[in-house]
């Protein structure tokens, strides 16, 4: 089988991945495949910063709005669908752009991870489900941090399903299924990371949260809460904090500050994780006069590499 060919654009939240990825895909005459684990959910638009039609630049975007917030979606499902999309685009002579900041989704494509070999054990899973009910999700996450800190750092501390699934895998002898030391050497791809000084990134995060609130995030979260309740998807940053506000646990101002703080912490975790991959070509967007300059810099490297 011929190697699959694709471009990856990643980096912390609010670093500008959406616009840059769309611009690169447009110049390549291809598409964008999202690698954001929250943008897959329908109705979660403002809080996940989904691309506007203007930001899409007329480029087709896949893996957005494909699942209801009350449904689960696994990294294995993402891997399977993303690979199918890459192969379909390659067959047309296109090189798709995979863009997003969800580490596990990206690593499912650029590392040698075979989810089909992951063993299942309902007894172990039920044990951890009961432990979560008796104690807390935080307790399970702390347990995962002890057993597999590398994996714990690329998922949400409130992602109950993935925490339990990983603990189940570890206890059932499936550790090698998530070995992030093995690169995917079968396919041809380039990985670009967008970065900027921390102070600049944090300022952008704060401003983006304020814009989300102005654009109707509270109303969006309230409607989702009324329709679905506290589902796993709605424990995402930007929603769970507002649910505390709806329940009278804090003021809207306090919820907004908590969203900013949690988003900054998430961005820090993203950068810590991605910096471990020496294959990533980092682009400091703060040194570019415009987004077009960043796009052109990436296109230049892509051409130099023969893509």
134-187 residue pLDDT tens: 788 888 889 899 888 878 877 778 788 888 888 888 887 665 445 566 899 999
| CB-CB contact of 62 with 85 (8 Å) | yes
User: How is residue 303 written in tokens?
Assistant: 């051409």
The reported pLDDT for the residue numbered 232 is: 83
101 phi and psi angles, rounded to 5 deg: -120, 10
User: How is residue 95 written in tokens?
Assistant: 């090189």
Dihedral angle, C-alpha 118, 123, 126, 131, nearest 10 °:
-100
Distances (CA, A) of 104 to 35, 40, 60: 9, 14, 23
Residue 150: CA count within 13 A, CB half-sphere: 10
Sequence-separated (6 or more) residues with CB below 8 Å from residue 141: 152, 157, 158, 163
Q: Which of 172, 179, 205 is nearest to 12 (CA)?
A: 205
The reported pLDDT for the residue numbered 177 is: 46
The reported pLDDT for the residue numbered 162 is: 81
Sequence-separated (6 or more) residues with CB below 8 Å from residue 170: 147, 148
The C-alpha atoms of residue 194 and residue 187 are separated, in whole angstroms, by: 22
Q: Of 1.10.20.140, 3.40.50.10320, 3.40.50.300, 3.40.109.10, which CATH number belongs to 118-178?
A: 1.10.20.140
Average pLDDT, the chain: 91
User: How is residue 110 written in tokens?
Assistant: 């650029």
Q: Where are the domains of the chain?
A: 5-113+180-304, 118-178
Whether the predicted pLDDT of 270 surpasses 70: yes
Which residues face 193 on adjacent strands? 10, 282
The correct answer on CATH 3.40.50.300 for the domain covering 5-113+180-304 is yes
| CB-CB contact of 222 with 244 (8 Å) | no
The reported pLDDT for the residue numbered 181 is: 63
Q: Where in 142-271 does DSSP place strands (E)?
A: 188-195
Which residues face 32 on adjacent strands? 61, 97
The reported pLDDT for the residue numbered 176 is: 47
Lowest mean pLDDT among 52-56, 78-82, 120-124, 224-228: 120-124
The C-alpha atoms of residue 241 and residue 234 are separated, in whole angstroms, by: 10
The C-alpha atoms of residue 138 and residue 184 are separated, in whole angstroms, by: 32
Sequence-separated (6 or more) residues with CB below 8 Å from residue 66: 40, 42, 73
Residue 78: CA count within 13 A, CB half-sphere: 27
Percent residues over pLDDT 70 in the chain: 95
The C-alpha atoms of residue 227 and residue 135 are separated, in whole angstroms, by: 27
The reported pLDDT for the residue numbered 137 is: 85
| CB-CB contact of 274 with 11 (8 Å) | yes
- pLDDT level of residue 117 (50, 70, 90 thresholds): low
Whether the predicted pLDDT of 257 surpasses 90: yes
How far does CA 70 lie from the centroid of its chain? 18
The reported pLDDT for the residue numbered 111 is: 92
The reported pLDDT for the residue numbered 114 is: 76
Whether the predicted pLDDT of 277 surpasses 80: yes
| CB-CB contact of 49 with 238 (8 Å) | no
Mean pLDDT of 231-260: 93
Mean pLDDT of 234-255: 93
The reported pLDDT for the residue numbered 118 is: 58
| 26-48 pLDDT, tens digit each | 999 999 999 999 999 999 999 99
The reported pLDDT for the residue numbered 125 is: 80
Whether the predicted pLDDT of 262 surpasses 50: yes
The reported pLDDT for the residue numbered 180 is: 60
Q: How many helices (H) and strands (E) does the chain have?
A: 13, 6
């Amino acid at each position: 089988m011929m190697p699959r060919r694709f471009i990856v654009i990643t980096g912390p939240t609010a670093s500008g991945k959406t616009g840059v990825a769309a611009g690169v895909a447009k110049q390549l005459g291809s598409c964008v495949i999202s690698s954001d684990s929250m943008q897959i959910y329908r109705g979660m638009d403002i809080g996940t910063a989904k691309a506007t039609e203007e930001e899409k630049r007329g480029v087709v975007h896949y893996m957005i709005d494909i699942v209801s917030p009350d449904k689960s979606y696994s990294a294995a499902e993402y891997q399977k669908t993303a690979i199918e999309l890459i192969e379909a685009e390659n067959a047309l002579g296109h090189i798709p752009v995979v863009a997003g900041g969800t580490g596990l989704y990206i690593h499912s494509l650029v590392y040698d991870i075979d989810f089909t070999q992951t063993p299942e054990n309902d007894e172990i899973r039920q044990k951890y489900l009961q432990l979560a009910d008796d104690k807390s999700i935080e307790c399970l996450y702390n347990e995962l941090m002890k057993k597999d800190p590398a994996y714990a750092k690329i998922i949400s501390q409130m992602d109950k399903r993935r925490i339990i699934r990983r603990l189940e895998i570890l206890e059932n002898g499936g550790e090698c299924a998530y070995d992030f030391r093995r690169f995917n050497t079968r396919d041809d791809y380039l990985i670009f990371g967008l970065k900027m000084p921390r102070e600049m990134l944090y300022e952008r995060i704060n401003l983006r949260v304020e814009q989300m609130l102005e654009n109707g995030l509270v109303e969006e979260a309230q409607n989702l809460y009324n329709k679905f309740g506290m589902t796993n998807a709605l424990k995402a940053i930007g929603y769970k904090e507002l649910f505390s506000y709806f329940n009278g646990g804090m003021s809207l101002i306090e919820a907004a500050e908590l969203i900013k703080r949690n988003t900054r912490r998430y961005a820090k975790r993203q950068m810590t994780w991605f910096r471990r991959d020496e294959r990533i070509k980092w682009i400091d967007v703060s040194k570019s006069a415009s987004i077009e300059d960043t796009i052109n810099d990436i296109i230049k490297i892509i051409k130099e590499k023969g893509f």
